[in-house]
C-alpha cells in the first residue's frame, strides 16, 4: 500500500515501501517525484518514488549503515473471518553508544463491521439512564452542595457519569468516521488508520474507567442497604485519612531511597538506569519482589546488602504492619460505634420473625415445603403444620394467661439466656465415640491405600513427562537456515501445525531412544522388530484394520465456509460494508483485499456440539482413499465419534511417511481445517498400564492455533489371568472392599442420626420431614460434608466396577481391530479421568471430616466460634473485594486485552488481577501498551495488598477469643477400648486442678479490641461532656438528656412513637434546609421573610392547618352525634327493661305477702288445734289465759318478728314509691349514668326487699334467675 511521505508517526526520515509479487521490490519514496504506476512492480495505484530496487540491490545500498539510530517497519493485514484490519509495527531504537535500548512489536486492530441489531437498544437504554443519573446528580448538588462535596461517593458518581457520556460520544464519533473509512481508500493511508486507532484508544480508556466506576458504585448501593457493608465501608473511610498521612510520610522516605539507588546502582543495572525505572524497581521491592536487586552485581556494589536490608525492613515489614494497625483500629472503632445499632437490628429481626411465625406467616421455602408435602401425602403436611401452629398458639395463650413476660421486655442478659436455651439443640452436638474415631481412621487409611494402589499417579506423571520431553526435543525446521527450528511452544499458526504433523510426528513415534534395550527385547521375543516403542517399554499398540497394521489415527474437522462480501452478518447495511478500496481515477470499487471465502467457526477438538462443521460435502483426493475416509457424526471410526476426515496411518515407517506426504500434497491441511486430533494407544507391560494419547490442534478464526497434549494412563488388573497375579489383586482390592463396607456403615449411621433427630423434632414441635431434613444438613456442615462424601464414594464405586468390566474386555476388543480398540481406549480413559476427579474431591472431603471429632475441644471450639462470629463480616467483605476486583478486571480486559495475552479473556484477566493481590505483577508490559491506564493499576495494588488483605486480619483479630482449656484426660478417652482388657488401671481417675470460682480473674495484656473499646468509651464520654450546660448564676451543671433507648427497653408501641417522631423531625429538617436554600437567592432578609416565609411558607401552613382543623371538627361533630344517638337508644332500651322487671317484682311481692298471710293463718289454726280442751269449755281462768298468751308469744318468737299485713303492704308501697323515684331519675338522661349503673340500682332495691327475710329472698332470687 502507499506509505505516508512523512514516515512513521509523521516524524520524517527515509521511507521505503515494500511490494511483493513474483519478487520483492523496495520503492524509495520521494514526495517531489511524479506518481509512478506499474502493476508488474505491485504499484497498481501509483506512487511518488525516486527508484525501485530488488531485494538484492536494496541490501547492497547504504540504507542500513552506522549512522542509523532507529528503524520502524509497518504493514497492514486483513482478516476476512472477523472483518478486521490490523497494523503491525516493529520498532528498533539505538542510543549514542550503539546499544539497542528499545525493541517493540505491536499490532493494533480495528473491526470493520461493528453493526449489531440489538446492541443499539442497549446503548439507548444506557444513555437514558446515564442522563437520568446526571439530572439526579445536578439536582442533589444544587440542594445540598456543601454536604455532597464532602461525600467521596459524589465524586465517584461524577466520574462515572462523565466517562459514560464520553464513551458514548467517542463511540458514535468513531462510527461516523468508520462509515467513510470502509467505503473509500482511506484505509490505504497509515495516517487514517492511526486516527481510527486513536479514537478506539480513547474509547477504550473512557469505557474502562466508566466500567470501573460502575462497579465501585455498586459498593455504594450495598453500603446503603446492608449494615455489614456499611460497617466495612466506614472502616475504609475512617482509615483513609490515616493511611493518606502515612503514605505521605513514607513517600518522602521512599523518594530518598530511590534517589540513592539511582545515584549508586545506575552503573550496575538497567533496572536503576533512570529515575522512572528506579521508582518502579523500588515499588516492586516494596511488595516483596527481589528481581531488581538480583540484577545488581554484589561484588561491585558494596552497599547493595545494606540498602537492601534497610529498604525491606522499613517498607516490606514495618510499613505493611502499619497498614495492618490502621485498618485494625478503624475496624474495631467502627464496630464499637455501630455495635449497639446492629444488635438492635438483629433483635428487631428476630422479634419480627417470631411475630410472623406466631401469626402464621410463612416464608417461600415453607410454602414450597407444604406444597411438596401436600403432593406427596395429601392432608398430612397441612395437618402437621396446623397442629404445630395450634400448639404454638396454645403455648402463647397460656403464657399470656399466666402473666409470663414477653421476650421483647426482657433485659439483655435474660434474652441471651433464653436464646441459649432455645438453641440448645442446635448448639449442642453429641461427641463422637472413640470407636467411631477408630472406624473413621481405618476408613481413611483404606481409601488412601486403595487410591495409591489403583490410580498409579506417579506412573501417569512419568508417562506424561516422557511424551512431553520427546515433543520438546523434536524441533521443526523453519526453512530459514539449518540452525533455526520451531519448538512445540513456538507453534501458533496453521503452517507450523501442519509442518509439525508432517515432519515431527514420524520422528516422535519411530525414534526409539533405547535401541539396545529394544534389541534385547526382540531377542528375548518380548515383542517383534516391527513394534514401535517410546523410551524402550512404552509401546504403541498397532493392530490390523483390514489387511495392514495401523498405528495412529488422525481425525480432522473442517469449518463451513461462505462467500466473503465484507460483512459479518446479513443485517449490516450496504453503506457500512467494507469494499476493499476504490480507484481514485475511475471511481470503481476494488476487491484486492477481499478474500474469496471466510469462516467464523471455532471447533473444539474435544466437543461434539459445534455448529458450522462441514462433514457430508467433503471430498477426498484419490491418493487418500486408501487410508482416509469421510465419516458422519456418530461413527466410531472418528475421534469421539464426532465425524470428519479420518486417516489411519500404518505401523511401517516408510508407509507412514508416504501417507503423511500424500496428505500434505493433496490439501489435507487447508485454511478450512479448523481442528484435527492425533490419537494412539500405548501399553507398558512392566506395569500393566494402558495409556491413551491425544495431540490436538484447533485454529481460531483469527488464525491462532491452540495445541494440547493429553495422556491418560490406566492401571489394568489383567483379570483374565487372575490366578497368576492373585496376591497383587488381593492387595489392590482388599482395601477397596473394607472402604466400601465402612462407607455403607457411615451411611447407616447418618440415616440413624437423622431418624433420631426427626423423632425428636416431631415430638417437640411437630416439625415435618422436609424441614427436619433441611435443618439436619443446614445446621451441621459436617453432616452435609459426610453426605456428599458418601454419595461421591458410591458414584466412584460404580465407576470402579465399570473399570473392572472394561478390564475383562481388553483382549476381546484387541481382536476386533484397530478402530474398535481406539474407541475402547478412549472410553476407558474418559472413565478413568472422571474417576480421578471424583477421587480427588472425595479425598479432600475425607481430609476435612476429622474436624467433626475435635469440635468439642475447647480450643478448636474457640477457633470455630471465631470464624462463625466473623463469618458475616468476612462474607460481605469478600463480596466487596469481588466487586472491586471485577471493576479492575474489566479495566485490564478492555485496556490491555488487545495487546497482552494474560488479559485477552475475562477469565485470564481475573487470574492476572488476582496475581496482583499476591504481589506477582509486572508493569513493564502495561506501560508498553498504554501508560495512561497503567497508572490506575498502582492504586489497585495498594488497595488490594495493603488495605483489603489487612481487613481479614482485623476481622479475625476482633472475634478471636483465647480460652483456658482443661488438660487432656487420656484415661477417659481410652476407657471404652481398654477398660475390659486391662483392669489394673483406674480408668475413672480424673484429677483436675480447679480454679477458685471466687478468686478474681487475672487480667492479661489488653487486646486491640479492648483498647479500642476503652478509647471509644472515652470519646463518647468527651462528646457527652461537650453537651453540658453550666448555669452562670450558681455554677450548676445541667447535663443534656439521655436517649430514650438508654433508659428503657423499646417495645413495639414505643418503637412506633419513635418512628413517628423521627418522621416528623425529618420533615422539619427538610423544610428548614429548603428555606436555607431559598434564602441564598435573596440579598435582604426582609424580602425573604416577606415573600418566602410569610407569603409562601406561613400562608401555606395556615391554609393547611385550618383545613386540617376543619376536617377534625367535622369528624368530631359526626362522632358526637352518632354517639349521642347510640347512647339515647341504649338508655331507652334499658328503661323498658327496668320497667318490666319492676312490674314482675310487684307481682312477686304481692304473691309473697298473700302466701305469708296464708301461712300465718295456718299457723294460728295449728296452734289452736294443740289445746282442744280450752275450746270445749269456752272459758278459762286467768292462769290458763296467761299460759296461752305465753305460748303464743313463744311461737311468735320462734318465727321471728314479722310485720303485719298492713305494715307489710304499707312498707311495700313506700318502698315502691322510692324505687319509682330512682327509676325516673335514671331515665332522665345519659348524665345520670350508664345502663350498668341503673341495673346496679335495681339490684340494690331488690336487695332491700329481700333483706327482711332470707328465706323469701333466696326464693325470689331463684325465681328471678329462672325467669
For the stretch 313-343, pLDDT in tens is: 999 888 888 888 898 888 888 888 887 777 7
**Cell numbers that stand for 502 in this block:** 508432517
Instruction: Tell me phi and psi for residue 1007, to 5 degrees.
Output: -80, 175
Ranges of beta strands (E only) in 575-688 are 597-598, 613-614, 628-631, 644-650, 673-684
pLDDT of 402 above 50: no
User: Given this model, what pLDDT does residue 613 score?
Assistant: 66
Most confident of 47-61, 380-394, 1040-1054, 1145-1159: 1145-1159
Determine if residue 580 is left, alpha or beta; phi over 0 gives left, psi from -120 to 50 gives alpha, anything else beta.
Answer: left
Compute the Cα dihedral for 93, 98, 101, 104 and give only its sign.
Answer: positive
Q: How confident is the model at residue 853 (pLDDT cuts 50, 70, 90)?
A: confident
User: What DSSP designation does 582 have?
Assistant: B
User: Given this model, what pLDDT does residue 1173 score?
Assistant: 54
Query: Within 13 A of 12's CA, how many CA atoms are on the CB side?
Result: 0
**Cell numbers that stand for 1101 in this block:** 401552613
Beta bridge partners of 106: 89
For range 241-256, the mean pLDDT: 90
Q: Which residue in the block uniquely carries the three cell numbers 524509495?
A: 28
Asked if residue 781 lies in contact with residue 851, where contact means CB atoms within 8 angstroms, the answer is no
| 769-778 helix and 781-808 helix, angle to the nearest 10 degrees | 90
User: Given this model, what pLDDT does residue 282 score?
Assistant: 92
Q: Which residue has the higher pLDDT, 720 or 282?
A: 282
Q: Give helix then strand counts, H and E, for the chain.
A: 43, 23
Beta bridge partners of 691: 682, 713
427's CB contacts (< 8 A; 6+ apart) are 420
Q: Which residue has the higher pLDDT, 695 or 564?
A: 695
For range 174-187, the mean pLDDT: 84
Q: Residue 1251 class from Cβ within 10 Å (0-12 exposed, 13-18 middle, 19+ buried)?
A: exposed
User: Given this model, what pLDDT does residue 1029 score?
Assistant: 46
**Cell numbers that stand for 834 in this block:** 472422571
User: Given this model, what pLDDT does residue 1085 score?
Assistant: 76
Separation between Cα atoms, residue 358 and residue 399, nearest integer Å:
13
Q: Which residue in the block uniquely carries the three cell numbers 525446521?
A: 477
604, 819, 924, 1080, 1158 from 556: Cα distances, Å: 11, 16, 41, 79, 132
User: Given this model, what pLDDT does residue 1249 score?
Assistant: 37
**Cell numbers that stand for 642 in this block:** 464426532
**Cell numbers that stand for 1151 in this block:** 304473691
pLDDT of 1235 above 80: no
Q: Which residue in the block uniquely carries the three cell numbers 526453512?
A: 479
Separation between Cα atoms, residue 939 and residue 952, nearest integer Å:
19
User: Given this model, what pLDDT does residue 210 score?
Assistant: 93
Contacts of residues 829-833 at CB distance under 8 Å and 24 or more positions apart, as own/partner, are 829/692, 829/712, 829/714, 831/799, 831/802, 831/803, 831/806, 832/712, 832/713, 832/714, 832/803, 833/712
37, 732, 1222, 1230 from 1244: Cα distances, Å: 135, 103, 11, 20
Percent residues over pLDDT 70 in the chain: 74
Instruction: Tell me phi and psi for residue 578, to 5 degrees.
Output: -75, 125
Q: How confident is the model at residue 213 (pLDDT cuts 50, 70, 90)?
A: very high
Separation between Cα atoms, residue 646 and residue 627, nearest integer Å:
8
Asked if residue 615 lies in contact with residue 637, where contact means CB atoms within 8 angstroms, the answer is no
Separation between Cα atoms, residue 65 and residue 499, nearest integer Å:
37
Q: Which residue in the block uniquely carries the three cell numbers 395463650?
A: 397
SS3 671: coil
Judging by DSSP bridges, how do beta strands 549-559 and 689-699 pair with one another?
unpaired
For range 392-398, the mean pLDDT: 48
Largest CA distance in the chain: 191
Contacts of residues 1076-1082 at CB distance under 8 Å and 24 or more positions apart, as own/partner, are 1077/142, 1077/143
Q: Identify the weakest region by mean pLDDT among 288-302, 836-850, 973-987, 1220-1234.
A: 1220-1234
pLDDT of 1140 above 50: yes
128, 165, 571, 894 from 121: Cα distances, Å: 11, 16, 15, 21
Judging by DSSP bridges, how do beta strands 549-559 and 613-614 pair with one another?
antiparallel
Mean pLDDT, rounded, of the chain: 77
Asked if residue 539 lies in contact with residue 527, where contact means CB atoms within 8 angstroms, the answer is yes
pLDDT of 1004 above 80: no
pLDDT of 222 above 60: yes
**Enclosing H/E stretch for 109:** strand 100-111
Separation between Cα atoms, residue 12 and residue 4, nearest integer Å:
9
User: What DSSP designation does 1092 have?
Assistant: I
**Cell numbers that stand for 1143 in this block:** 312490674
**Enclosing H/E stretch for 339:** helix 320-358
User: Given this model, what pLDDT does residue 211 score?
Assistant: 93
For range 436-453, the mean pLDDT: 88
User: Given this model, what pLDDT does residue 790 score?
Assistant: 92
User: Given this model, what pLDDT does residue 332 score?
Assistant: 85
Helices (H), 402-433: 412-422, 424-427
User: Given this model, what pLDDT does residue 289 score?
Assistant: 87
Beta bridge partners of 987: none
Q: pTM of the full predicted structure?
A: 0.72
Q: 716-728 in b/e burial notation, b at 16+ Cβ within 10 A?
A: bbbeeeeeeeeee
- CA-nearest of 564, 496, 560 to 82 is 564
- CA-nearest of 641, 639, 645, 640 to 614 is 645
Judging by DSSP bridges, how do beta strands 689-699 and 532-534 pair with one another?
unpaired
Span 1193-1219, pLDDT tens digits: 443 333 343 343 434 344 444 444 444
**Enclosing H/E stretch for 1030:** strand 1029-1030
CA torsion, points 1253, 1254, 1256, 1259, in degrees to nearest 10?
Answer: 170
Strand order in the sheet with 35-38: 16-20, 24-29, 43-54, 35-38
Span 273-282, pLDDT tens digits: 888 889 999 9
88, 168, 205, 505, 566 from 109: Cα distances, Å: 9, 20, 16, 35, 16
Asked if residue 166 lies in contact with residue 206, where contact means CB atoms within 8 angstroms, the answer is yes
pLDDT of 257 above 90: yes
User: Given this model, what pLDDT does residue 165 score?
Assistant: 93
- How many beta carbons lie within 10 A of that of residue 761, not counting itself? 18
User: What DSSP designation does 105 have?
Assistant: E
Span 945-978, pLDDT tens digits: 888 888 888 888 887 765 555 555 666 666 666 7
Separation between Cα atoms, residue 876 and residue 914, nearest integer Å:
18
pLDDT of 1055 above 50: yes
Compute the Cα dihedral for 446, 448, 450, 452 and give only its sign.
Answer: negative
Q: Identify the weakest region by mean pLDDT among 128-142, 499-513, 666-680, 704-718.
A: 499-513
Separation between Cα atoms, residue 894 and residue 913, nearest integer Å:
13
Contacts of residues 1013-1020 at CB distance under 8 Å and 24 or more positions apart, as own/partner, are 1013/332, 1013/336, 1015/333, 1016/333, 1016/336, 1016/337
Separation between Cα atoms, residue 726 and residue 211, nearest integer Å:
66
Separation between Cα atoms, residue 784 and residue 597, nearest integer Å:
56
Q: Which residue has the higher pLDDT, 1237 or 821?
A: 821
**Cell numbers that stand for 270 in this block:** 538497567
Span 528-542, pLDDT tens digits: 556 677 776 778 888
pLDDT of 618 above 60: yes
245, 309, 1083 from 322: Cα distances, Å: 12, 18, 52
Judging by DSSP bridges, how do beta strands 43-54 and 24-29 pair with one another?
antiparallel
First-to-last CA distance in the chain? 123
Asked if residue 223 lies in contact with residue 617, where contact means CB atoms within 8 angstroms, the answer is no
Task: Output the DSSP codes for 67-91.
Answer: T--EEEEEEEEEETTTTEEEEEEEE
Amino acid at each position: 500500500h502507499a506509505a505516508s511521505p512523512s514516515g512513521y508517526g509523521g516524524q520524517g526520515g527515509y521511507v521505503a515501501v515494500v511490494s511483493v509479487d513474483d519478487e520483492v521490490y523496495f520503492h524509495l519514496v520521494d514526495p517531489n517525484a511524479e506518481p509512478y504506476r506499474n502493476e508488474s512492480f505491485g504499484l497498481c495505484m501509483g506512487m511518488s518514488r525516486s527508484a525501485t530496487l530488488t531485494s538484492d540491490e536494496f541490501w547492497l545500498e547504504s540504507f542500513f549503515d552506522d549512522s542509523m539510530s532507529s528503524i520502524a517497519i509497518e504493514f497492514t493485514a486483513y482478516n476476512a473471518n472477523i472483518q478486521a484490519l490490523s497494523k503491525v509495527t516493529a520498532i528498533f531504537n539505538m542510543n549514542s553508544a550503539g546499544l539497542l535500548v528499545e525493541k517493540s512489536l505491536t499490532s493494533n486492530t480495528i473491526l470493520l463491521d461493528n453493526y449489531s441489531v440489538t446492541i443499539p437498544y442497549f446503548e439507548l437504554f444506557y444513555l437514558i439512564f446515564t442522563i437520568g443519573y446526571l439530572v439526579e446528580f445536578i439536582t442533589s448538588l444544587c440542594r445540598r452542595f456543601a454536604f455532597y462535596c464532602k461525600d467521596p461517593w459524589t465524586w465517584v458518581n461524577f466520574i462515572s457519569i462523565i466517562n459514560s457520556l464520553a464513551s458514548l460520544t467517542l463511540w458514535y464519533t468513531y462510527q461516523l468516521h468508520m462509515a467513510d473509512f470502509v467505503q473509500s481508500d482511506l484505509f490505504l493511508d497509515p495516517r487514517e488508520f492511526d486516527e481510527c486507532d486513536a479514537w478506539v484508544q480513547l474509547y477504550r480508556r473512557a469505557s474502562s474507567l466508566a466500567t470501573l466506576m460502575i462497579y465501585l458504585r455498586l459498593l455504594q448501593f450495598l453500603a446503603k442497604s446492608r449494615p455489614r457493608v456499611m460497617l466495612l465501608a466506614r472502616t475504609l473511610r475512617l482509615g483513609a485519612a490515616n493511611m493518606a498521612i502515612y503514605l505521605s510520610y513514607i513517600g518522602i522516605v521512599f523518594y530518598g531511597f530511590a534517589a540513592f539507588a539511582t545515584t549508586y546502582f545506575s552503573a550496575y543495572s538497567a533496572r536503576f538506569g533512570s529515575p522512572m525505572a528506579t521508582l518502579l524497581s523500588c515499588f516492586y521491592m516494596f511488595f516483596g519482589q527481589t528481581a531488581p536487586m538480583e540484577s545488581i552485581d554484589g561484588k561491585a556494589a558494596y552497599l547493595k546488602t545494606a540498602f537492601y536490608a534497610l529498604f525491606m525492613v522499613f517498607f516490606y515489614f514495618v510499613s505493611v504492619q502499619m497498614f495492618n494497625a490502621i485498618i485494625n483500629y478503624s475496624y474495631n472503632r467502627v464496630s464499637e460505634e455501630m455495635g449497639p445499632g446492629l444488635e438492635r437490628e438483629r433483635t428487631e429481626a428476630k422479634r419480627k420473625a417470631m411475630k410472623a411465625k406466631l401469626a402464621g406467616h410463612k416464608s417461600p421455602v415453607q410454602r414450597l415445603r407444604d406444597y411438596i408435602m401436600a403432593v406427596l401425602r395429601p392432608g398430612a403436611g397441612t395437618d402437621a403444620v396446623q397442629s404445630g401452629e395450634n400448639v404454638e398458639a396454645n403455648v402463647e395463650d397460656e403464657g399470656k394467661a399466666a402473666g409470663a413476660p414477653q421476650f421483647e421486655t426482657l433485659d439483655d442478659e435474660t434474652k441471651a439466656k433464653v436464646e441459649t436455651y432455645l438453641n440448645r439443640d442446635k448448639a449442642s452436638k453429641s461427641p463422637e465415640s472413640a470407636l467411631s474415631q477408630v472406624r473413621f481412621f481405618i476408613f481413611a487409611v483404606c481409601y488412601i491405600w486403595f487410591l495409591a494402589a489403583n490410580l498409579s499417579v506417579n506412573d501417569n506423571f512419568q508417562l506424561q513427562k516422557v511424551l512431553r520431553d520427546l515433543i520438546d526435543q523434536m524441533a521443526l525446521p523453519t526453512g530459514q537456515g539449518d540452525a533455526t527450528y520451531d519448538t512445540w511452544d513456538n507453534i501458533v499458526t496453521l503452517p507450523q501445525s501442519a509442518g509439525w504433523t508432517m515432519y515431527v510426528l514420524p520422528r516422535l513415534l519411530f525414534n526409539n531412544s533405547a535401541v539396545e534395550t529394544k534389541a534385547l527385547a526382540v531377542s528375548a521375543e518380548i515383542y517383534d522388530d516391527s513394534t514401535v516403542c517410546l523410551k524402550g517399554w512404552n509401546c504403541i499398540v498397532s493392530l490390523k484394520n483390514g489387511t495392514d497394521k495401523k498405528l495412529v489415527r488422525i481425525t480432522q474437522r473442517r469449518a463451513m465456509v461462505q462467500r466473503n462480501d465484507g460483512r459479518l452478518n446479513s443485517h449490516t447495511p450496504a453503506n457500512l460494508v467494507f469494499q476493499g478500496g476504490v480507484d481514485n481515477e475511475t471511481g470503481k470499487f476494488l476487491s484486492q483485499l477481499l478474500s474469496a471465502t471466510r469462516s467464523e467457526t471455532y471447533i473444539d477438538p474435544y466437543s461434539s456440539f459445534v455448529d458450522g462443521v462441514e462433514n457430508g460435502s467433503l471430498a477426498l483426493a484419490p491418493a487418500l482413499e486408501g487410508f482416509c475416509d469421510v465419516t458422519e457424526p456418530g461413527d466410531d471410526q472418528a475421534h469421539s465419534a464426532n465425524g470428519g476426515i479420518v486417516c489411519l496411518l500404518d505401523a511401517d515407517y516408510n508407509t507412514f511417511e508416504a501417507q503423511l506426504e500424500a496428505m500434505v500434497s493433496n490439501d489435507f491441511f487447508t485454511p478450512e481445517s479448523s481442528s484435527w486430533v492425533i490419537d494412539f494407544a500405548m501399553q507398558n507391560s512392566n506395569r500393566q498400564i494402558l495409556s491413551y494419547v491425544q495431540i490436538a490442534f484447533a485454529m481460531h478464526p483469527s488464525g491462532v492455533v491452540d495445541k494440547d497434549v493429553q495422556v491418560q494412563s490406566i492401571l489394568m488388573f489383567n483379570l483374565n489371568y487372575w490366578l497368576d497375579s492373585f496376591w497383587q489383586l488381593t492387595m489392590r482390592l482388599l482395601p477397596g472392599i473394607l472402604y466400601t463396607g465402612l462407607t455403607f456403615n457411615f451411611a447407616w449411621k447418618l440415616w440413624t442420626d437423622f431418624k433420631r433427630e426427626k423423632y425428636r423434632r416431631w415430638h417437640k414441635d411437630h416439625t415435618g420431614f422436609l424441614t427436619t431434613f433441611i435443618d439436619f444438613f443446614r445446621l451441621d456442615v459436617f453432616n452435609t460434608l459426610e453426605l456428599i462424601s458418601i454419595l461421591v464414594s458410591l458414584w466412584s464405586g460404580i465407576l470402579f466396577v465399570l473399570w473392572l468390566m472394561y478390564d475383562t474386555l481388553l483382549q476381546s476388543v484387541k481382536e476386533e481391530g484397530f478402530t474398535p480398540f481406539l474407541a475402547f481406549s478412549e472410553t476407558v480413559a474418559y472413565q478413568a479421568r472422571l474417576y480421578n476427579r471424583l477421587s480427588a474431591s472425595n479425598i479432600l472431603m475425607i481430609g476435612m471430616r476429622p474436624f467433626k471429632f475435635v469440635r468439642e475441644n475447647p480450643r478448636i471450639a474457640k477457633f470455630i466460634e471465631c470464624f462463625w462470629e466473623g463469618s458475616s463480616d468476612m462474607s460481605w467483605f469478600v463480596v466487596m473485594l469481588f466487586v472491586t476486583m471485577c471493576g479492575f478486571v474489566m479495566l485490564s480486559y478492555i485496556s490491555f486485552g488487545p495487546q497482552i495475552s494474560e488479559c485477552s479473556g475475562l477469565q485470564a484477566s481475573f487470574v492476572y488481577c488476582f496475581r496482583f493481590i499476591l504481589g506477582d505483577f509486572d508493569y513493564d508490559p502495561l506501560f508498553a501498551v498504554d501508560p495512561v491506564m497503567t497508572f490506575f493499576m498502582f492504586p489497585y495494588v495498594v488497595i488490594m495488598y495493603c488495605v483489603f488483605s489487612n481487613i481479614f486480619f482485623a476481622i479475625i483479630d476482633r472475634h478471636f477469643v483465647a480460652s483456658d482449656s482443661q488438660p487432656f484426660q487420656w484415661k477417659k478417652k481410652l476407657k471404652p477400648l481398654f477398660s475390659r482388657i486391662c483392669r489394673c488401671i483406674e480408668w475413672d481417675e480424673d484429677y483436675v486442678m480447679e480454679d477458685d470460682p471466687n478468686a478474681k480473674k487475672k487480667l492479661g495484656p489488653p487486646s486491640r479490641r479492648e483498647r479500642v473499646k476503652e478509647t471509644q468509651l472515652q470519646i463518647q464520654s468527651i462528646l457527652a461532656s461537650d453537651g453540658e450546660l453550666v448555669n452562670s448564676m450558681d455554677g450548676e451543671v445541667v447535663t443534656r438528656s439521655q436517649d430514650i433507648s438508654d433508659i428503657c427497653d423499646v417495645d413495639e408501641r414505643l418503637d412506633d412513637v419513635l418512628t413517628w417522631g423521627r418522621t416528623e423531625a425529618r420533615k422539619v429538617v427538610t423544610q428548614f434546609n429548603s428555606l436555607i436554600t431559598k434564602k441564598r437567592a435573596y440579598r435582604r432578609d426582609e424580602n425573604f421573610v416577606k415573600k418566602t416565609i410569610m407569603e409562601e411558607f406561613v400562608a401555606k401552613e395556615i391554609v393547611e392547618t385550618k383545613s386540617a382543623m376543619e376536617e377534625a371538627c367535622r369528624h368530631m361533630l359526626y362522632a358526637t352525634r352518632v354517639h349521642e344517638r347510640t347512647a339515647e337508644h341504649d338508655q331507652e332500651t334499658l328503661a323498658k327493661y327496668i320497667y318490666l322487671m319492676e312490674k314482675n317484682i310487684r307481682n312477686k311481692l304481692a304473691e309473697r305477702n298473700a302466701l305469708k298471710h296464708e301461712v300465718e293463718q295456718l299457723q294460728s289454726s295449728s296452734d289452736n288445734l294443740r289445746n282442744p280442751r280450752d275450746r270445749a269449755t269456752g272459758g278459762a281462768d286467768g292462769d290458763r289465759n296467761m299460759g296461752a298468751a305465753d305460748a303464743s308469744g313463744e311461737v311468735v318468737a320462734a318465727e321471728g318478728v314479722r310485720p303485719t299485713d298492713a305494715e307489710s303492704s304499707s312498707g311495700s308501697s313506700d318502698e315502691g314509691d322510692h324505687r319509682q323515684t330512682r327509676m325516673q331519675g335514671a331515665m332522665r338522661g345519659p348524665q345520670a349514668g350508664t345502663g350498668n349503673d341503673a341495673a346496679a340500682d335495681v339490684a340494690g332495691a331488690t336487695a332491700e326487699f329481700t333483706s327482711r327475710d332470707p328465706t323469701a329472698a333466696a326464693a325470689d332470687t331463684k325465681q328471678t334467675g329462672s325467669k
